[in-house]
Amino acid sequence: MLEVKEVTKYYGSQCAVNKVSFQLSKGEIVGFIGPNGAGKSTLMKIITGYLQPDGGAVYINQHNIAEEEPAIRRHIGYLPEHNPLYLHMYVTEYLQFVAGLYRLGSKSKQRVEEMIQLTGLAPERKKRIGELSKGYRQRVGIAQALIHNPNILILDEPTSGLDPNQIVEIRNLIQSVAKEKCVLLSTHIMQEVEAICHRIILISKGNIIADQPTALVRASSHTLVVETHVPVEENFFSELEGVQSVVNQGPTHWLIECREGYDLRETIFTKAVASNIKILAMQKKEKPLEEVFRELTQS
């Protein structure tokens, strides 16, 4: 449904996005993460047609957005990072205004009402946007992004600055509308990515450095917590292929960090049996996504 192909963007001599390629499909929520200045917002603006790339192209349903931009934009809903709203307008008034921009015509009133109910804006519908809390302003932003029923939803930091209750509410809202759309979600909140994203695209210095299902990103490297019934020497574990490091936490307790792609549980158990050593406990601990993020972006 959405294809980004070899997209490049320069600001002067600085390369903000470097030949980036990926695809999104219907029903997929993709977490688009990276450090500040990595190129996330730039790429989102290119996808939505607000910026033109210096190279490459963006395709929506196999149509080049640069060549068919006015028609193609109808397939995209966009919530920018700073959620530019007309604060003097009333909630219903603003959504009617947006419906008019998309020329929804006779469907405008119905779609505005549907968005107010979907996004939970009913209690605040008669207020000016400037009188709303940040959580409700984000709801208004999501409502305007959805009002024309787009196939693709681009959300740039949708939960930034919200309290824990508001984050959960916006998360549930995103999940509810994502079943029939593809969603590209930029955020710095790793718990958010783990909670709702099926896949992670990690960008750093304008380059894609990881594009995998969320579970695989965490599972690519892990630590085993092992307890034996008698003390063993460190080399009992360290000489095994696939061991990154071994940390002794007591005569019979060990932390064994595995190299990427290795799961040593069966290997350790087999060696222990052959050596008449009993494994009293063995637990696999995947790295927190924050730690994986730091490792990949600081290298």
pLDDT at position 190: 83
DSSP of 86-117: -TTSBHHHHHHHHHHHTT-GGGHHHHHHHHHH
Mean pLDDT of the chain: 88
Q: Indicate the range of 8-12, 70-74, 120-124 predicted with least confidence.
A: 70-74
Counting residues of the chain whose pLDDT is more than 90, the rounded percentage is 51
Backbone φ and ψ of 201, nearest 5°: -115, 120
For 229-237, what is the mean pLDDT? Answer: 92
Instruction: Tally Cβ neighbours within 10 Å of residue 74.
Output: 14
For 135-155, what is the mean pLDDT? Answer: 92
In the CATH scheme, what is the homologous superfamily, with its name and number, of domain 220-298? Alpha-L RNA-binding motif (3.30.70.1560)
pLDDT by residue (tens digit) across 6-57?
Answer: 999 999 999 999 999 999 988 899 999 888 888 898 999 999 888 899 999 9
Q: Answer yes or no: are the C-beta atoms of 10 and 206 closer than 8 Å.
A: no
The residue ranges of every structural domain in the chain are: 2-214, 220-298
pTM of the model: 0.76
For 248-264, what is the mean pLDDT? Answer: 86
For 230-259, what is the mean pLDDT? Answer: 90
pLDDT at position 127: 95
Using the Cα atoms of residue 117, residue 120, residue 124 and residue 130 in order, give the sign of their dihedral: negative
Q: Classify domain 2-214 by CATH number.
A: 3.40.50.300
pLDDT at position 113: 95
pLDDT at 133 over 80: yes
pLDDT at 252 over 80: yes
b/e sequence 6-40, b meaning 16+ C-beta within 10 Å? ebbbeeeeebbbbebebebeeebbbbbbbbeebbb
